[in-house]
A = this chain, B = another copy of it.
C-alpha cells in the first residue's frame, strides 16, 4: 500500500484526501491548525493527521496543497523528513518559477496543477470526485525523473482526471489566457462601471444588470488574494496576454469610432466562431 502525505488541508488537499483514502492509499494529513487536523480525521479525509512535519516521513508521495506563496518554504521545511525515493509534488496554479525552485530543492519533484475549484475555500467544502472529469496538468522538465512522472500520471488517472503533460512555461502561458486574463478583464469591467459619474445612472445600471453582466463579471468579483497571486507568479505571461488583449479592444474600438459596422460585425463573428473550441468538450491532448 502506498502512503500519500497531503500538506495543507483546504479544498484541494481535503478533496484529494477523500478520493485517495477511498482508492486504497494510506493518507496522512499535515496542517497548521490542530482543529483542521481534527476535522480532517472526523470527515475521514485522512487516516492520520497532525501539525508536525515529521509525519510525512513514511510517505511515498508528498503533495503540497498550501497557497502558492507558501509552497517553497514548506518544501524546504519538509526536506529533512523525506525518504530518498519520495516523490514531491504540488498543486499550484502557476508553475514556471516555482517548478525551477522546487526541483532544485528536491530532484524527485513533479509540478502538478489539478484544475478544479469552487467558489468557497477550505476543508469544510472539500468533496469527493472534485477532480473527476477535470484537467490535471503535470509539468515535468528535462530534469524530472520519468518514474516520478509515471507515478503521478497514474494517480491523476485514478482520480478520474484528464491528464495533460507539458512544460511549466507552456502551462503558464495557457492558463494566462484562459484563467488569469479573464480575471483581469472581468474585474476591469466592474471597476469601469463604477466610474459612471451620475448616481442615478449607476443605480439604474445596477438594477438592470442581468445574466450577461453576471457572467462576464463573475471571475472579476472573485477572491482578490488568488487574483493577486496569479499576477505575481505569472507576471510575464499575463502581461503578454494583457498587451494582446488591449490591442484587440483598440481594434474593436476602431471599428466603432470609424463606424465601420462591417468590420465590427466581422470581429464579433470571428469571436463567435472561435469560442466553441474553448468551451466545448475536447479530446485529450498531450499524454
Interface residues of A (CB under 8 A from B): 115, 134-135, 137, 164, 166, 170-171, 173-175, 177-179, 181-196, 198, 200-201, 203-210, 212-225, 227-228, 231-232, 235, 238-239, 241-242, 244-253, 255-257, 259, 261, 264-265, 267-272, 274-279, 282, 284-286
Contact yes or no, A190 B275, CB < 8 A: yes
Contact yes or no, A219 B219, CB < 8 A: no
Which residue among A164, A185, A209, A224 has the maximum number of chain B CB atoms within 10 Å of its CB? A209
Which residue among A191, A267, A270 has the maximum number of chain B CB atoms within 10 Å of its CB? A191
| CB of A276, distance to nearest CB on chain B (Å) | 8
Q: Can you list 11 A-B pairs, Cβ within 8 angstroms, ordered by A?
A: A174-B208, A182-B212, A184-B249, A191-B270, A191-B271, A192-B241, A214-B279, A220-B275, A224-B268, A227-B265, A246-B250
Residues in B neighbouring A182, C-beta threshold 8 A: 189, 212-213, 216-217
Extra A-B contacts (13), CB below 8 Å, given A170-B198, A194-B274, A220-B271: A177-B205, A178-B210, A190-B271, A191-B251, A191-B267, A192-B248, A204-B285, A206-B277, A228-B261, A228-B265, A239-B256, A242-B253, A246-B246
Contact yes or no, B272 A221, CB < 8 A: yes
Contact yes or no, A178 B278, CB < 8 A: no
Contact yes or no, A218 B217, CB < 8 A: no
Contact yes or no, B171 A204, CB < 8 A: yes
Residues in B neighbouring A244, C-beta threshold 8 A: 192, 195
Which residue among A183, A241, A268 has the maximum number of chain B CB atoms within 10 Å of its CB? A268
Residues in B neighbouring A241, C-beta threshold 8 A: 192
| CB of A87, distance to nearest CB on chain B (Å) | 23
Residues in B neighbouring A183, C-beta threshold 8 A: 212, 268
Residues in B neighbouring A224, C-beta threshold 8 A: 265, 268-269, 271-272
| CB of A15, distance to nearest CB on chain B (Å) | 16
Contact yes or no, A208 B252, CB < 8 A: no
Residue of B nearest to A224 (CB): B268
Residues in B neighbouring A255, C-beta threshold 8 A: 231
Contact yes or no, B177 A193, CB < 8 A: yes
